[in-house]
Structure 1
Amino acid sequence: MAVYRRSQSGGRRILIVSYHRVVGDFTGEVQRSIPGLLISQGTFRRHLEEAALAGYEFASIGDAVDVMAGRKVAKRDLFVITFDDGYRDVYRYAYPLLKQMGVPAIIYLPTDFIGTNRRFHHDRLFHLVQVAKARRLRPYFSALPEPALQLVTPVLSGSKTPSESLDDFIGEHPSGVLLDVIEALEKELGGGPELLPEQGDVMDWDEVRRMARDGFEFGAHTLGHTVLTMEPLEQMEREILESKRAIEREVETQVQHFAYCNGWYSDDVIRLLRTHGFRSGVTTEDLPNQVGGDPFTLKRKVLWENFSLGMLGDYSTALTGCQLDDCFMMLGMSRSVPGRRTHLSATRVANSLLVRSPLPLEEPT
């Protein structure tokens, strides 16, 4: 399968993998965090070892772009490690391991969060939904607006997990609505410091600079972890340009690579990246990268802990190998979610604004 995939890709496989949080205690952390963002330090180490045993060469994102463009020739298949969001877990648990093993990586930063105590909208919403579930919130007898009901009702009724409901919700609403829903849920739940998740803290600039001095690269990931295809053109450009400038100012390095939030992009987003001097943009489309392909639609395989768990709940070398070799995709057992999107219209944005729902006379059955 590896040989077949190599021939399909133009002679070399260029596998770009994406992680979010590398944690010391997966079993404990998964009880309070979005599961799909987590991988244990032990499993992460095994991924690196498996990739090396499979014959991959660890490479930077710039090297991968050069090989795709024909500016460099790779003697082996390339394995590129990326991290989204700049979680402090990466500094605590991934950075020492990568440094010890001599493996390069790039971390994509949403710069408005770096060096603050803020938490990402997705982490705050996940936490609030869990609190609402624990407190047995009755959404139809609350003053919650319609978008908030859309998020919490499937979870409280048992028809979706918090992660499933959150994925669907974030895919339909711009950042402004996410923040309004956070505020509405916090108000409905009575406020208090316990409504802000303890976990999910991000790196500060000193930690970023320390990693940069050791050769790790940083790319832009917007200012506020913003899904650009849901924003007007002026905001798109600000998110792209100002996040690039912030990293260049703080780290004193040139920023050339970008990660699309949610993996979503459009021709307008790509045009802005080219205009402002970027060399690449990474998606979350789980497809092979092609030699000669577009560097602004780079494909990535998003990995987390359970992708390597066997039937007995322990680490599976065979399963990890299948993931790295795209076995499930090639056999038609999984599919890639497209990242190319059309922009959310101004009318739809307006219709997404919060409108308080009237209280029903009785709770629906």
Structure 2
Amino acid sequence: MSIKHVFKRTGGWLYLNTALGRGPLRGAGVILMLHRVLSNDRAAELPHRNELCVGPEAFEHLLLWLQRHFDCVPLMTLLLADPEHVPNRPRVALTFDDGWRDNAMNAFPLLRQYQVPASIFLSTDFIGSRQHFWWETLGETLWGSHGQVARHSLIEHLHQVGRPLPVLLDDIDDDRRSLALVHYLQSLKSLDPQVLSDLTESCPHGAQPQALDWSQVRMLEDSGLIRFGPHGASHAILTGLDDQRLHEELSRSRIALENGCAQPLPVYCYPNGDHDARVRQQVAAHGYPFALGTETGLYRHDGDPLNLPRFGVSQRNAHHPELLAWRIRRGTRS
């Protein structure tokens, strides 16, 4: 581990294990943002997966660490607590974006084992369907997870839309190649959504759906540990939609949650974290008093409820949660 990481881990440990460090956390809330829990830690460590994925060992390690330093509470308990009577011990709420199938297969057994509540925000068009998330599908095809024939076919399609593959994506070193893939996938975000959809459909689809189905949603909800909210319908970036499409996207996700869940959360979760004043106004008009963004900071009941801060969890900082503590320290809002 680099000297930089040793410094951060040491600073994070001191933050949570000394009275001086814990002072800013007194009475505060921390909202964590996760996406996937894979079945294999090594797979989650590669750079193109690290930011959105954690492995089961790292996730279990994170849960134990959180219980040692925080009260793990449901998201609404954190949001609705009386600011005049919040406990001194800091509270943490776990959130998962998108609605991946592995939330039920790999994350939930550990959440149930340690009795840690969580909120999952669903991109509702994907739930119970064979639709695929473009980042995962394109990334794994380019990585070679579906074989070289599929990889070369996608490379040709990408060339046709003016996005040729960089040379570094043929590097023999896994870490360098994976890091190059991260940067390349980031560059594809500017493509037209229909082009991304067409590219995704040109890739092989696995035997299992990527997303949860509605029976899994109801099973998780029935456990009493998990609640669900909307993360868009199609996962479209809301700031790029005109007023009519924005209204349709918000309405479709709300109706799907009302039909599929017993008690959907009154919290919206912005796809990609993107929002502006127009989007926030429409989210409020659709009956959501709260919405989750991706800016970092502590929750203290005094910020914009339609731009709630969160800290992202990666494989790296789940495996070494002192790094997460360092991020919380660096991103603290007073």
Q: Deviations over 1:38-63 (max 9, x none)?
A: 21122111111111212x11122212
Question: Alpha carbons of 1:127 and 1:32: their partners in 2 closer, same or farther (altered >3 Å)?
Answer: farther
Report matched runs for 1:7-26 at 5 Å: 11-26=26-41
Distance 2:250 2:153 in 1: 40
Contact 2:35–2:100, Cα closer than 8 Å, also in 1:
yes
Q: Deviations over 1:302-353 (max 9, x none)?
A: 11212245xxxxxxxxx4124135367369xxxx9xxxxxxxxxxxxxxxxx
2:223 to 205, 211, 214: 214
Moved more, 43-52 or 133-142: 133-142
Aligned to 1:287: 297
**SS of the residue 1:107 aligns to:** strand
CA displacement at 1:81 relative to structure 2: 0.3
CA displacement at 1:281 relative to structure 2: 1.1
Contact 1:174–1:230, Cα closer than 8 Å, also in 2:
no
Q: Deviations over 1:6-25 (max 9, x none)?
A: 6657x522111111111222
CA displacement at 1:270 relative to structure 2: 0.9
**SS of the residue 1:34 aligns to:** helix
Aligned to 2:142: 129
Aligned to 1:101: 114
Question: Alpha carbons of 1:301 and 1:31: their partners in 2 closer, same or farther (altered >3 Å)?
Answer: closer
Distance 1:266 1:325 in 2: 29
Contact 1:220–1:257, Cα closer than 8 Å, also in 2:
yes
Distance 1:283 1:130 in 2: 29
1:241 to 222, 227, 251: 251
Aligned to 1:44: 59
Aligned to 2:186: 167
CA displacement at 1:182 relative to structure 2: 3.6
Residues 1:178 and 2:196 are matched in the alignment: yes
Report matched runs for 1:270-309 at 5 Å: 270-309=280-319
Report matched runs for 1:54-203 at 5 Å: 54=69, 56-67=70-81, 70=83, 73-131=86-144, 134=148, 137=152, 144-149=159-164, 152-153=165-166, 155-156=168-169, 161-170=180-189, 172-182=190-200, 186=202, 195-197=204-206, 201-203=210-212
Distance 1:116 1:96 in 2: 23
Contact 1:123–1:197, Cα closer than 8 Å, also in 2:
no
Contact 1:283–1:298, Cα closer than 8 Å, also in 2:
yes
TM-score for both structures, normalised by structure 1 = 0.73
CA displacement at 1:73 relative to structure 2: 2.6
Aligned to 2:7: none
Sequence identity of aligned pairs in percent? Answer: 23
Say how many residue pairs are matched.
308
**SS of the residue 2:233 aligns to:** coil
CA displacement at 1:119 relative to structure 2: 1.5
Matched to 1:66, the amino acid is L
Moved more, 263-272 or 156-165: 156-165
Question: Alpha carbons of 1:51 and 1:298: their partners in 2 closer, same or farther (altered >3 Å)?
Answer: same
Question: Alpha carbons of 1:97 and 1:37: their partners in 2 closer, same or farther (altered >3 Å)?
Answer: same
CA displacement at 1:177 relative to structure 2: 3.1
CA displacement at 1:232 relative to structure 2: 1.6
Distance 1:206 1:267 in 2: 36
Q: Which consecutive unaligned segments of at least 5 residues does structure 1 have? A: 187-193, 310-318, 337-365
Distance 2:155 2:74 in 1: 51
Question: Alpha carbons of 1:255 and 1:289: their partners in 2 closer, same or farther (altered >3 Å)?
Answer: closer
Question: Alpha carbons of 1:33 and 1:206: their partners in 2 closer, same or farther (altered >3 Å)?
Answer: farther
Contact 1:148–1:181, Cα closer than 8 Å, also in 2:
no
RMSD: 3.3
Aligned to 2:5: none
CA displacement at 1:276 relative to structure 2: 1.0
